[in-house]
Amino acid sequence: MKVSKRRRRQGKTDYNKRIKMLSGESPRIIFRKTNKYIIAEYITSREAQDKVEIGITSKKLKGYGWPDEFEGSLKSIPAAYLTGLLIGREIIRKKLKTPIADFGMIRAVKKTKAYAFLKGLADAGIKINCAEENFPDEERISGKNMKKDFSKTFKEIKSKIEK
C-alpha cells in the first residue's frame, strides 16, 4: 500500500497542480486565507526551489488607514481586493514579470475573496486572464454590504494605494 505525501494528507499541497505550474516557469502570485488575514506572495521558482520576491499581508492595510473597528474584517472581500491592488502596484513598481495565479488548495468559486484579489491585481495593471463575470460585484468589493457602510473608507484607502 502506497502512503501519500505528508503535505497532501494534511490538505496543504496539490502536487499535480504544483508540477504543472512549475513546468510553466512563470512566476506565481500566491493567495492564501487565514483566520485573520489575507496573504499574498510573488514567488519565483528555480529547480523547484521557491523564492519569495514580495510578500504582503492584509495587515499592511492598517498603514493605509484601515480603521481599528474593522480589524476583524482584514480577511473580507474589500481587504482581499486592496491586498491584490497593493501587491499589484509593487510588482509594477519593481518591473517584475507577469505572474500566474496560484490559489493552492482553496476552491476557486466565483465572486469570492480569491476573485476579489484577482480584480485588485487587474486594476493595478497586471494582465490576468480571468472572465469579468467571476469577479464580485462592485458593491461587495467596496464594502457596502458590511455591518457598517465601509465604502467611504474603502475609497480613501484605495486612493492612498494608487498614489
22-27: long-range contacts at Cβ-Cβ below 8 A with a sequence spacing of 24 or more?
22/48, 24/100, 26/97, 26/98, 26/99, 26/100, 27/53, 27/96, 27/97, 27/98, 27/99, 27/100
User: Is residue 6 in a domain?
Assistant: no
CA dist., res. 115 & res. 91, Å (int): 18
Check which CATH number belongs to the domain holding 75 and give it. 3.30.420.100
Mean pLDDT (the chain, rounded): 91
Q: How confident is the model at residue 5 (pLDDT cuts 50, 70, 90)?
A: confident
Question: Could you report the per-residue pLDDT of 34-51, keeping only the tens digit for each?
Answer: 999 999 999 998 887 889
Could you tell me if residue 34 is inside a domain? yes
Rounded mean pLDDT, 28-35: 94
Residue 8 forms part of a structural domain: no
Residue that wins the pLDDT comparison between 132 and 145: 132
The better pLDDT of the pair 90, 163 is held by 90
In this prediction, residues 90-114 reach a mean pLDDT of: 92
Instruction: Let me know if residue 55 belongs to a domain.
Output: yes
Residue 161: pLDDT above 80?
Answer: yes
In a domain, 9, yes or no: no
Total domains in the fold of the chain = 1
Domain span at residue 66 reads 14-162
60 — pLDDT class (breaks 50, 70, 90): very high
Residue 5 belongs to a domain: no
In a domain? residue 122 = yes
Kindly state the average pLDDT of the residues 80-84.
97
**123 pLDDT above the threshold of 90:** yes
| Domain assignment of residue 127, yes or no | yes
